[in-house]
């Protein structure tokens, strides 16, 4: 399975609803929404009000990637705004297990994201509780960065761990520097959900860009 999730971080914010409709027409599977708080990562993007404002633009899954500290304080607002799935960073959660269950109790699939320097073993005790792992293939905070090649080994290790733990159903998402050159590599390593910001939104022909990723 391959799920293509364009990241609206690289979209034209002045026409966000139109940009979302455009990538939907172009064949996107999910819309990836990068929430950054200016603390966990240096950049500040947007919060639930913007998400709610663009929610009517599409029926596609809103895949919300929270790059924020203390996500437990804000999860109810993202659920109310129309998130379909929520991913939190392991590095941002003192009580990761509790946060995962907070998302699931709200009825949403829960993802856990790992920065490039965070080893996969931090997931060992929550593997049975989550629906997706997001392997960051750049350091989060900005679009348009270069793919970190060591990520490939990490994805392979994670795939092995998931198989050994009977969680072959779990989605592995990759995010950062994914383009037509790196997508085949991360797919071969075992990932199924491909986030792409620049590779989609800087192209005039988004259908061709998404087709190239597939």
Q: Would you please indicate which residues are annotated as catalytic (active-site) residues?
A: 34, 175
Task: Please give the Cα distance from 167 to 146 (Å, whole number).
Answer: 30
Shortest distance (Å) from residue 41 CB to ligand DX5: 7
Give the interface segment with ligand DX5, choosing from 82-90, 115-123, 162-170, 174-182 (CB under 6 A): 174-182
Is 142 within 8 Å of 179 (Cβ atoms)? no
DSSP-assigned beta bridge partners for residue 63: 32, 85
Task: Please give the Cα distance from 61 to 55 (Å, whole number).
Answer: 10
- Judged by CB under 6 A, the chain residues 9 through 28 that form the site for ligand DX5 are 9-10
SS3 content of the chain, % helix, strand, coil (to 5): 40, 20, 35
Query: Distance from CA of residue 72 to its chain's centroid?
Result: 18
- Judged by CB under 6 A, the chain residues 126 through 165 that form the site for ligand DX5 are 138, 140-145
DSSP string, 194-212: EEESHHHHT-S-HHHHHHH
Shortest distance (Å) from residue 164 CB to ligand DX5: 28
Candidates 21, 82, 198, 203; binder of ligand DX5 (CB under 6 A) is 198
Candidates 3, 51, 65, 190; binder of ligand DX5 (CB under 6 A) is 65
- Residue 65 annotated as binding? yes
Task: Provide the binding-site residues for Zn ion, judged by CB under 5 A.
Answer: 34, 65, 175
Task: Provide the binding-site residues for ligand DX5, judged by CB under 6 A.
Answer: 7, 9-10, 32, 34, 65, 138, 140-145, 175-178, 195-199
């Amino acid at each position: 399975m391959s799920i293509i999730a364009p990241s609206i971080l690289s979209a034209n914010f002045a026409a966000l609803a139109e940009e979302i409709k455009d990538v939907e027409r172009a064949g996107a599977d999910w819309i990836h929404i990068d929430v950054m708080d200016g603390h966990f990562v240096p950049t500040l993007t947007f919060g639930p009000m913007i998400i709610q404002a663009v929610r009517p633009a599409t029926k596609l899954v809103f895949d919300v990637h929270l790059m924020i500290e203390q996500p437990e304080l804000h999860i109810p607002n993202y659920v109310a705004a129309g998130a379909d799935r929520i991913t939190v960073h392991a590095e941002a959660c003192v009580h990761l297990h509790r946060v995962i269950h907070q998302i699931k109790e709200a009825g949403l699939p829960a993802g856990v994201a790992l920065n490039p320097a965070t080893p996969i073993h931090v997931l060992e005790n929550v593997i049975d509780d989550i629906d997706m792992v997001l392997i960051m293939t750049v350091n989060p905070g900005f679009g348009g960065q270069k793919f970190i090649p060591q990520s490939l080994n990490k994805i392979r290790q994670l795939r092995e761990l998931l198989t050994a733990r009977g969680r072959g159903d779990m989605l592995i998402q990759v995010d950062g520097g994914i383009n037509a050159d790196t997508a085949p590599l991360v797919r071969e390593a075992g990932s199924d959900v491909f986030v792409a910001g620049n590779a989609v939104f800087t192209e005039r022909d988004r259908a061709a860009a998404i087709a190239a990723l597939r």
